[in-house]
Amino acid sequence: MATTAMPVASAVLGADRRWLFRAALYTAAGLGYAVIGAPILFVSWLSFFSNEIVSFPPQGYTLRWFPHILDQNNFVSGFATSFQVGVVAMLGGLLLGVPASLVLARRRFLGREALNTLLILPLVVPGVVAGTSIYVFQVEAELLTGLPLLGSVAGLVLAHVMITIPWTVRLVAASLAGFDRSIEEAALNLGATPLKTFLKVTLPVIRPGVVAAALFGFIVSFGNLEMTLFLVAPGVTTLPIAILQYLQWRIDPTIAAVSFLQILLIGAGMLLTDRYVKLTRVL
């Protein structure tokens, strides 16, 4: 009897341990989601407060802060500037990042690892350091060449292209990791040109990575604050800078309303993208 009871007790103990491990895992995952989601939920809730001065509990709820956004010229012009710079920076990041990803994924050459590190480096450099460095570079470049880079929209776009390239390289390289080169070779053997092979064969296969890179490149550029502070000209502002300037003088739910609209814009973009291209394939 004792011999039979020992395996049963061991099985029960093992089941208890698995249950505790599973419970601990779910608890940790729930806490992680709570930390990520709580600020989003709080800002969304705050945007409907009727209080002019943020306080708890709210005195009531209203939608008047959303029309109030349009009365602030800084928000309107800042959104337009951020959107334009984000779109152009996204396209620039794709034009430079996709060919770089193809070269890194398919070629073996001296300095390949150094080039890969260089392209990923903007992800780990603090925004303040990057902004200061680019500002100094643009000053020196303007002195040497006479090109009006400092404080120009072109200079700002070039800086934002730099921070979109790493996302393009990482996401497109992830799509290329499982790519079967024999499909391209078959197309070339059948008479397709290299350009036609890329457009008709390679690009459709890596499309999830390209679309994800475009989405995240736009988001990173649209919401950038630290680097942009060093590069905008007087009188020119982006949406993050407009929000920061508004907070220097007033604290009311208008800021939460602007943030809520940003959340909706980015969330809608991600949902729409995921509908046609599953982001889980590359993220």
121 found inside a domain: yes
| Number of residues that this document lists for the chain | 283
Provide mean pLDDT across the span 25-50.
84
Taken in order 131, 135, 136, 140, is the CA torsion positive or negative? positive
pLDDT score of 77: 87
29 found inside a domain: no
Please name every residue paired with 49 in a beta bridge, in sequence order, or none if there are none. Answer: 61
62 found inside a domain: no
Q: Which residues contact 214 (CB under 8 A, 6 or more apart)?
A: 90, 94
Vertex 79 angle, CA 78 and 81, to 5°? 65
pLDDT of 14 > 60? The answer is no
Q: Which residues contact 260 (CB under 8 A, 6 or more apart)?
A: 43, 44, 47
117 found inside a domain: yes
pLDDT of 88 > 90? The answer is yes
Angle between helices 2-46 and 253-276 (to 10 degrees): 120
pLDDT of 193 > 90? The answer is no
| Whole-number percent of the chain with pLDDT over 70 | 90
What CATH number is associated with residue 271? Answer: 1.10.3720.10
The domain total for the chain is 1
Integer Cα distance of 203 and 102 in angstroms = 11
Span of 31-40, 77-86, 248-257 with lowest mean pLDDT: 248-257
Phi, psi of 59 (to 5 degrees): -75, -20
Integer Cα distance of 211 and 83 in angstroms = 17
20 found inside a domain: no
181 found inside a domain: yes
Note the pTM of the prediction, 2 decimals.
0.80
40 found inside a domain: no
3-state secondary structure at position 61:
strand
43 found inside a domain: no
Q: What is the extent of the structural domain holding 170?
A: 72-281
Helix, strand, coil shares of the chain, percent, nearest 5, are 75, 0, 25
